[in-house]
Amino acid sequence: MGKRIIAQRRGRGSPTFRAHTFTRVAPARYPRIEGPLRRAEVAELVHDPGRGAPLAKIVVEDGTVFYNLAVEGLYVGEIIYIGREGRVENPPPGSILPLFAIPTGSLVCNVEKVPGDGGRYARASGAYATLLAVVGDRATLKLPSGKTIEVPACCLATIGVVAGGGRTAKPFMKAGNRWKLMRSRGRKYPIVKGVSMGAYAHPHGGGRHRRPGKPTTVSRHAPPGRKVGYIAAKKTGRGR
């Protein structure tokens, strides 16, 4: 008899690997937005547990209330614009406009992939996408990864850079702080190395020394209890 590895236990969805979603504020998604541009006010900036960026509570003049990712420079009481039709000269940061109404070269975030999906691209703290060009009904974007994509020009985007860009530069200093973050995201921490375990608990465990004792590259079709290490790797090691 052995012990199920962490990858198997995580898949069961037990409370150990389940995030505390009841502490979350709200999803950062655009509501159903149709018609011309409308004015909206930033009512509040709040912290969302498990999320690296703050959220902005936005109240539209027609009474719609929703939460969106806060951008750098956004403040409580600021007036922004939101809508799918029309243009505005020099839109303030935080405005939610279609890509065809945003000047070329602007930095945007929370960009929709398909009109109406609420936002897909550049949502992490400090992330942004660059609007390279708008030709016809297609817009070209450069993502934070450096990849260039095309999306419909009527997709919504938030003008500005997601706030909280220096979050990863600050060390945790204490393991307890890291544990609280991982707990809010439903991840197990700390994680023990496989070579430090016994042979019953992990394929890399056991032996007289801390070494896997077998190749760490496994087949894509390996059973769940064996599928650890480099899964279906084309090559490993240092490139030369």
CATH number at residue 209: 4.10.950.10
d(CA 102, CA 98): 7
CB 129 within 8 A of CB 121: yes
Q: What is the pTM of this model?
A: 0.83
106, 131, 163: which is the final residue of a domain? 163
Q: Is residue 217 part of a domain?
A: yes
163, 195, 211: which is the final residue of a domain? 163
Q: Give the residue ranges of the chain where pLDDT is below 70.
A: 1
Instruction: Answer yes or no: do 120 and 206 share one domain.
Output: no
Instruction: Answer yes or no: do 139 and 121 share one domain.
Output: yes
pLDDT at 205: 93
pLDDT at 2: 79
Instruction: Answer yes or no: do 27 and 42 share one domain.
Output: yes
Tokens of 177: 């702080």
pLDDT at 108: 96
CB 58 within 8 A of CB 66: yes
Counted domains in the chain: 2
Task: Output the CA–CA distances (angstroms, integers) from residue 177 to 48, 172, 181, 188, in the order listed.
Answer: 16, 6, 7, 13
d(CA 235, CA 123): 32
pLDDT at 16: 84
Domain that holds residue 38: 22-163
pLDDT at 224: 87
